[in-house]
């Protein structure tokens, strides 16, 4: 069975996160169960991506680092770090993650681009 994914790119506020959480609920996602949350972080250099990856590993994330598929069209931040964590998806956890990852990428000159989660 195909999983539906809901995501929010370039989150600007907790209101945007709440809209996505609302969509998950409307699709009958059981948010009382922990599920994988996938975050997209873009960094300006391999060195910055390595630093962010180390910080995320210390925070309990699993990470995958590589050149972004659109690296040529994204010259300021051509390195992608995918950060995965299994957690409860709720307003508090999503906002905490968004704030932490926005701060972390900013520290290394990068950009936090949002998150996604499977309905099932």
Q: Which CATH number among 3.90.1010.10, 3.30.70.970, 3.40.50.300, 3.40.50.1820 corresponds to the domain 5-118?
A: 3.30.70.970
Q: In whole angstroms, how far apart are CA 73 and each of 35, 54, 68, 77, 114?
A: 32, 26, 10, 9, 18
Q: Are 43 and 79 in contact (CB under 8 A)?
A: yes
Q: What is the pTM of this model?
A: 0.84
Q: What is the pLDDT of residues 35-47, one digit of tens each?
A: 999 999 999 999 9
Q: How confident is the model at residue 1 (pLDDT cuts 50, 70, 90)?
A: very low
């Amino acid at each position: 069975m195909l999983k539906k994914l809901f995501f929010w790119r370039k989150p600007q506020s907790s209101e945007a996160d709440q809209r996505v959480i609302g969509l998950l609920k409307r699709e009958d996602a059981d948010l009382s169960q922990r599920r994988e949350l996938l975050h997209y972080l873009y960094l300006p250099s391999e060195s910055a991506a390595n630093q962010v990856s180390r910080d995320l590993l210390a925070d309990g994330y699993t990470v995958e680092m590589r050149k972004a598929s659109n690296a040529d069209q994204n010259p300021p931040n051509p390195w992608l770090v995918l950060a995965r964590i299994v957690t409860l998806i709720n307003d508090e956890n999503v906002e905490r993650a968004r704030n932490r990852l926005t701060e972390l990428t900013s520290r290394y000159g990068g950009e936090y681009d949002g998150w996604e989660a499977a309905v099932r």
